[in-house]
Amino acid sequence: MRSLADRPVNPSVGETVAHESAALHVTGTALYTDDLVFRGARVLHLWPVQAPHAHARVTALRTAPAMTVPGVVRVLTAEDVPGTNDAGTKHDEPLFPDEVMYYGHAVCWVLGETLEAARLGAAAVEVEYEPLPSILTLTEAIAAQSFQGNQPTVARGDAAAALAAAPHRFTGEFEMGGQEHFYLETHASLAHVDESGQVFVQSSTQHPTETQEIVAHVLGLHAHDVTVQCLRMGGGFGGKEMQPHGLAAVAALGAVLSGRPVRMRLNRTQDMTMTGKRHPFHATWEVGFDDDGHLLALRATITSDGGWSLDLSEPVLARALCHIDNAYFIPDVEVHGRIGKTHKTSQTAFRGFGGPQGMLVIEDILGRCAPALGIDPAELRRRNLYEPGQSTHYGQPVRHAERLRDVWDQVVERSDFEARRQQVAAFNAAHRHLKRGIAITPVKFGISFNFTAFNQAGALVHVYKDGSVLINHGGTEMGQGLHTKMRQVAATALGLPLGRVRLAPTRTDKVPNTSATAASSGADLNGGAIKDACDQIRERLAEVAARKLNVHPDDVRFVDGRVTGIGFHDQDLSFEEVVGAAYSQRVQLFAAGYYRTDGIHWDASRMQGEPFKYFSFGAAVSEVEVDGFTGAYRFVRTDIVHDVGDSLSPLIDLGQIEGGFVQGAGWLTLEELRWDTSDGEHRGRLATQAASTYKLPSFSEMPEELNVHLYERATESGVVYGSKAVGEPPLMLAFSVREALRAAAAAFGPEGTVVELASPATPEAVYWALDAARSAERSGPGAPRSKTGLPARHDGGAAAPGAAAPGAAAPGAEETARTGTPGAADADGRRPEPVART
Amino acid sequence: MEPIQVTVNGQVRNADGAGPHTSLLDWLRGQGLTGAKEGCAEGECGACAVLVARPDGPEGATWTAVNACLPPALAFDGQEVLTAEGLGTAPGACAVEDLHPVQREMAQRGGSQCGYCTPGFVCAMAAEYYRPGRSRAEASAPEETGTGATGEDHAADHEVGPNGFDLHALSGNLCRCTGYRPIRDAAYALGAPEETDPLAGRRHAPAPAPRHTRLRTGAGEFVRPGSLEELFDELDQHPDAVLVAGATDAGVERNIRHTRPRLVLAVDRLAPLRTLRTSADSIELGAALTLSEIESALDGRVPLLAALFPQFASRLIRNAATLGGNLGTASPIGDAAPVLLALDAALVLASRDGEREVPLADYFTGYRTSVREPGEIIRAVRIPLPLARATAFHKIAKRRFDDISSVAVAIAARVEDGTVEDVRIGLGGVAATPVRARATEEALRGRPWTADTAVAAAEVMAGEGTPLDDHRASARYRRAMLEQSLLRFFAQTQPAESLEVSR
């Protein structure tokens, strides 16, 4: 019972229980930040004045006209800020800017008696702008060398030499889109000033401590003057890790200045135009394989679109660099990372945090190169999976690499992969206008914050005299089921039925200095802290019980609300009795718990170390069907085997896996952010700023058959009750969908067709991919392949066995590949080679 | 003046405080009923869904799910509304858990994660739970044509559970957390309502009658006229008044573009606009019938409309939206217009001076403009009979359910003895108005219905309209889709085993 991973008998963890707020959710009685507005009186409302320029200087700001609008109370501007006019932890985000950095940037906020008054007041504010040149796309940023933050390189071995010696070399270029979080609950804060100047902010935030810090920073107060509470969020997905702070600060400023409660809620349009998203990435790459398809070397430059401020772009980039291997061993690696600075929203954390983008690069490489190598994509991937004893390119041994292969083999078996490949082939032979594709992809994802200091957590556990338990921890609930798991952890540690444990809302005056609920680490960190607090209390109670039971304290057991001596069944005490006795004996019945992840280290300057406590593994097989007339598709079936260690709460974990998978499929297929990149007057405006134009998955994108299996006997030593994190890794199982679409598109062409697929693979993108494959068919073998965009090949014509695909090894292949955009040269000035561009 | 009252969860509440531009959602939330949420404010996410008692014939009512963010609260004067709070009770301080069957299934199966979309899902699911006749087996018969082989059934395929639950009932609800599988499982696990269920019992009494509502505030005026004459009087005095039926467009204008018309005229319950008449030579659809009402009443009688409905927005929208509203806005991307153009439909325009019939093909005059005169309303849509036998509706969109089309193509052809005797093709999304593909029609009319004809006509089709690049699709893709739609139509009309299209 002393080890973090060991479970006692009859533990609450591992039981299938509903979300702890499920009954509140379904009855509409669960409260979100903006629901609280209607419980208070005299609440004021905020509306932003958003700039209609991608980049401009504010030359005049006249607020007086707004004050003539009935119901307008005040206009909040930079002059009102008592502390620092800055909302970013990097101090590069003026809260009230005099330089507009993106279309929709809020230059000031209007406070009104009603939302309508605030809106009309905002319309009345007169702002003059001097438009400035703007950079919008990654292509523009690279061309202009518009970068921000650090430019790290992660390397192992000698990639240049290994590439030169590789029997098969390919180069390519790839650009992937970002993703809007589209949490159903938009950003919201409700601030008021309590007795004696204590500022109380309720906020939909994944990082209450940082919200507290920024509010204090803006107001010129100390942290102890500000309390932040988060009841729950209507979804976060990383979008509320960094973005809520400034918005909460505006509400707090309004409350301080007006003396009244102030509500800030972004409507959907404001939320989409003002807050950050997943980073788009651009990659140029060069890869080498041996004759058997083993990866030999990878040299790449990846550039993220960070938007206007740095935000979390550096750690996002670091995670991308650390995940460019996904689950594959690459002996020699040299990857450079850069962060583009553009006049767009400040891109930020989003489930996976750069991991998906890094992993997508290698998955795209393998998907494009497999036919050119003449190796089946599934076989190519399996051949390159990490073996036990191997380490990542940043120097971390891949512990339990055998589980990765085991997970892979299990999903192959469970999905009936081999037989279904035959069925898909038969289907494709029988259908001219419909083609199916089936693909398998793995996931290996490192768990822990790359930023080592964040890997700590606190908790506060109270046992009341009646034996009821109230727990509090630093993590926030955004739907991921953290609170459910934390109740199960506490019930397990105290040997109580789940119903005896109640959880109190997350607030900074209960548990201080918390880390963001992010990086999938919520249950690992806070669970460790809660267990620590409960263990302290249980050990004190064990001494009390031992005296009553006449046994050694080490032999006292707490099971299902009863307290017994080990092996004794004739004599037991109720938990309440023991608690009552402890109180009488003046034994402390509450405890603060603390947890820090041990054994991790990271040298950010060298990009080497062991930043992750462990890796999560998973693999998915997806089958899709594509309509040759339109490129439209449906998701026929997906099978997943995923490793969550020993699950703390199977229903919760299943929900995270399925939801993450569908969200990943949305990113890769459907969700498309489009900005106005013209030189017109709306340059920089987000064109997809509503649910009607930005489509997230609905029922129609759920695989018609979805089978998820939790990998068994997967105890993760060193983590609370043997579990593993689950929040982010399943998102990347969706690579299987994208690769299945590639396979289906290829099926419209001759065998071995190389398919380039844009990301997201919208029906339009799939249509162009399959149309190119069809053109290849029409042209016939050996004909020039003008549209397929084959990865350019540099193997001196030494065609791999089976690489008989038309044109695959043709000398003309390099010529057919389009040259990369100007400025796409690597930062170190290497000569850009001909590349295929998506 | 009569007080304005809405019955919410069985309790009568005074709604005089609502202005003409207060949505039902904002009013409910202001009442402290915060279960319904705002997720998008444009009827796309369903987080605000509530149930309304709507007429099911003169003697019955049906619990109908609608988005609360779109219609004005005043439109519910005298009506009965249910929210998630009214369906069941969560355990709480001195409260015992008493969940509705829909709520129980959703809670136990992991149907909620963050819970924000959940009340809306619960309401949309409850409407389907109470739908009369749901438990009947509703498996669709296999198609005889080659549609299965062309993928034609993709966009509109009916997903129905073993309990008769039509998954399209939830097509207007978005969830960002679960991936939907547990929600589908919850929906498919529902049994039949119990005899004693008061909400089931409510269906056997008439729905509340519309009230003659009139309210003026500083922000504007809301009037529900009692007759066509009164409506025309109001239009005479206020030519800039906005007519509202389901408010599925006007509500978006109000929420997103902040339009605040001085007068809102509710026409959704005016009897002359709610007729559905079939004669020997036409079918007349009242302009204020909701799409769901038409869908249910026609029951597949017009196959092209039957193909349209499942792809028209979502069930939540179809429960409120009307053909009158869809055509009244004269949007170039509405999906109804292409279908009605292919059906050779005409609009019955009514004014104080009487009625006139305008072919839909002559109705649109430009971007969001039409021949409709001030003071004139759309009373009905008339579809001539007999219907062409061979029809297709192709909606090109990013998402299969509930998306706005980048291109919509509707084709209705009369093919006799292997010859195209007549054909009409309606297009959406490729010009400033919905248009007929007249050149393509010409290239088909009188020709043998062969692959060569289809290929030749497809080339003509690719040149129809003036497609643009935008966030939905590129012009190039739109042109390709025009071309492909004719090839697809040809494939669809061929027996499944001989599906070959030479290109």
Nearest to B178 among A434, A659, A778 (CB): A659
Tokens of A356: 């998906």
pLDDT tens per residue across span A218-264: 999 999 999 999 999 999 999 999 999 999 999 999 999 999 999 99
Q: What is the DSSP track for A712-750?
A: SS---TTSGGGB---SSGGGGGGHHHHHHHHHHHHTTSS
Is B23 among the domain residues? Answer: yes
Residue A197 DSSP symbol? G
Minimal Cα–Cα distance from A629 to chain B, Å?
A: 5
Q: Can you tell me whether residue B164 is helix, strand or coil?
A: coil
* CATH number where B68 lies: 3.10.20.30
Q: Do A27 and B402 touch (CB under 8 A)?
A: no
Burial class for B417, CB neighbours closer than 10 Å (0-12, 13-18, 19+): exposed
Nearest to B149 among A26, A433, A654 (CB): A433
Is B452 among the domain residues? Answer: yes
Q: B165 with B309, same domain?
A: no
Angle at A628 between CA A623 and CA A631, to 5 degrees: 70
Tokens 């041990």 sit at which residue?
A598
Q: Do A184 and B174 touch (CB under 8 A)?
A: yes
Q: B280 with B428, same domain?
A: yes
C-alpha distance from residue B407 to each of A738, B151, B395, B397, B484 (Å): 24, 17, 6, 7, 11
Tokens of A372: 């050119």
> What integer pLDDT is reported at residue A809 of this predicted model?
34
pLDDT above 80: residue A703: yes
Is B72 among the domain residues? Answer: yes
* CATH number where B374 lies: 3.30.390.50
Taking one residue from A and the other from B, the number of pairs with CB-CB distance under 8 angstroms is: 273
Burial class for B197, CB neighbours closer than 10 Å (0-12, 13-18, 19+): middle
Q: B173 with B320, same domain?
A: no
C-alpha distance from residue A819 to each of A360, A369, A754, B216, B244 (Å): 22, 18, 18, 66, 55
Of the candidates A105, A229, A242, A240, the residue with the CA atom closest to the CA atom of residue A182 = A240
> How far apart (Å, rounded) are the C-alpha atoms in residues A612 and A615?
7
Is B229 among the domain residues? Answer: no
Residue A287: CB partners within 8 Å, gap ≥ 6? A163, A169, A170, A171, A295, A297, A298, A299, A365, A369
Segments in B110-197 forming alpha helices (H): 118-129, 147-150, 181-188
Catalytic member of A363, A728, A756, A833 = A728
> Widest CA span of chain A, in angstroms?
91
Question: Would you call A504 an interface residue with chain B, using a CB distance cutoff of 8 Å?
Answer: no
Best of B83, B174, B177 to substitute, by most chain A Cβ atoms within 10 angstroms, is: B177
Is B14 among the domain residues? Answer: yes
> How far apart (Å, rounded) are the C-alpha atoms in residues A90 and A307?
14
Chosen domain end from B202, B234, B254: B202
Identify the CATH assignment for A400-447+616-780 out of 3.30.365.10, 3.40.50.620, 3.90.1150.10, 3.40.50.150.
3.30.365.10
Q: What is the DSSP track for B68-110?
A: TTSSBGGGGTT-EEE-HHHH-B--BTTB--B--HHHHHHHHTT
Question: Would you call A499 an interface residue with chain B, using a CB distance cutoff of 8 Å?
Answer: no
Chosen domain end from B202, B219, B241: B202
Whether A477 is catalytic is no
Query: Which structural domain range is residue B448 located in?
Result: 272-498
Residue numbers in B near A182 (CB within 8 A) = 176
pLDDT band per the 50, 70, 90 thresholds, residue A2: low
Q: Do A433 and B472 touch (CB under 8 A)?
A: no
Question: Would you call A38 an interface residue with chain B, using a CB distance cutoff of 8 Å?
Answer: yes
Nearest to A184 among B47, B394, B396 (CB): B47
Q: Do A184 and B37 touch (CB under 8 A)?
A: yes
Chosen domain end from B171, B202, B233: B202
Residue numbers in A near B119 (CB within 8 A) = 25-28
Question: Would you call A573 an interface residue with chain B, using a CB distance cutoff of 8 Å?
Answer: no
Residue numbers in B near A692 (CB within 8 A) = 40, 42, 44, 252, 404
Minimal Cα–Cα distance from B399 to chain A, Å?
A: 7
Domain ranges of chain A: 22-29+461-598, 400-447+616-780
pLDDT tens per residue across span A94-113: 999 999 999 999 999 999 99
Is B209 among the domain residues? Answer: no
Residue numbers in B near A235 (CB within 8 A) = 114, 116, 176-177
Nearest to B114 among A478, A627, A696 (CB): A478
Q: Mean pLDDT across the stretch A662-680?
A: 97
Residue of B nearest to A484 (CA): B113
Q: B172 with B310, same domain?
A: no
> What integer pLDDT is reported at residue A450 of this predicted model?
82
Read off the pTM.
0.94
> How far apart (Å, rounded) are the C-alpha atoms in residues B391 and B308?
11
Q: Do B38 and A18 touch (CB under 8 A)?
A: no
Nearest to A23 among B38, B90, B500 (CB): B90
Q: Do B179 and A661 touch (CB under 8 A)?
A: yes
pLDDT band per the 50, 70, 90 thresholds, residue A763: very high
Q: Do A662 and B179 touch (CB under 8 A)?
A: yes
Q: B37 with B178, same domain?
A: yes
Is B424 among the domain residues? Answer: yes
Q: Can you tell me whether residue A312 is helix, strand or coil?
A: coil
Residue numbers in A near B220 (CB within 8 A) = none
Best of B8, B37, B40 to substitute, by most chain A Cβ atoms within 10 angstroms, is: B40
Between helix A575-584 and helix A522-549 the angle, nearest 10°, is 80
Same fold, A22-29+461-598 and A400-447+616-780: yes
- Asked if A57 contacts A132 with a C-beta cutoff of 8 angstroms, the reply is yes
Residue numbers in B near A670 (CB within 8 A) = 398-399
Averaged pLDDT, groups of 10, chain B, 503 residues long? 92 95 98 98 98 95 98 98 97 92 98 98 98 67 49 59 95 97 97 95 96 94 97 96 96 97 97 96 98 96 96 96 94 91 98 97 94 96 96 94 92 96 96 96 97 97 95 96 97 70 37
Of the candidates A791, A784, A725, A731, the residue with the CA atom closest to the CA atom of residue A757 = A791
> How far apart (Å, rounded) are the C-alpha atoms in residues B103 and B81?
18
Q: Do A655 and B110 touch (CB under 8 A)?
A: yes
Total tally of structural domains belonging to chain B: 2
Between helix A244-258 and helix A208-219 the angle, nearest 10°, is 50
Pairing of the two strands A633-642 and A705-710: parallel
Q: Return phi, psi of residue A222, to 5°.
A: -90, 160
Question: Would you call A654 an interface residue with chain B, using a CB distance cutoff of 8 Å?
Answer: yes
Residue A783 or residue A723, greater confidence: A723
pLDDT above 70: residue A813: no
Paired with A594 in beta bridges are A458
Minimal Cα–Cα distance from A154 to chain B, Å?
A: 34
- CATH assignment of A22-29+461-598? 3.30.365.10
pLDDT band per the 50, 70, 90 thresholds, residue A797: very low
Residue B401 or residue A269, greater confidence: A269
Q: B354 with B489, same domain?
A: yes
Q: B21 with B113, same domain?
A: yes
> How far apart (Å, rounded) are the C-alpha atoms in residues A520 and A644?
11
- Asked if B427 contacts B482 with a C-beta cutoff of 8 angstroms, the reply is yes
Q: Do B115 and A22 touch (CB under 8 A)?
A: yes
Q: Do A29 and B116 touch (CB under 8 A)?
A: no
Q: Do B400 and A434 touch (CB under 8 A)?
A: no
Bond from prior residue into B386 cis (ω within 30 degrees of 0)? yes
Residue of A nearest to B152 (CA): A627
Question: Would you call A652 an interface residue with chain B, using a CB distance cutoff of 8 Å?
Answer: yes
Question: Would you call A28 an interface residue with chain B, using a CB distance cutoff of 8 Å?
Answer: yes
Q: B394 with B492, same domain?
A: yes
Q: B333 with B184, same domain?
A: no
Nearest to B115 among A39, A479, A662 (CB): A479
pLDDT above 60: residue A823: no
> How far apart (Å, rounded) are the C-alpha atoms in residues A66 and A259?
20
Q: Which of residues 244-283 of A touch B (CB under 8 A)?
A: 267-269
> What integer pLDDT is reported at residue A793 of this predicted model?
53
Residue numbers in B near A116 (CB within 8 A) = 219
Tokens 């603060």 sit at which residue?
A592
Tokens of A153: 């390189």
Minimal Cα–Cα distance from A206 to chain B, Å?
A: 13
Nearest to B180 among A27, A233, A662 (CB): A662
pLDDT band per the 50, 70, 90 thresholds, residue A515: very high
Is B360 among the domain residues? Answer: yes
pLDDT above 50: residue A420: yes
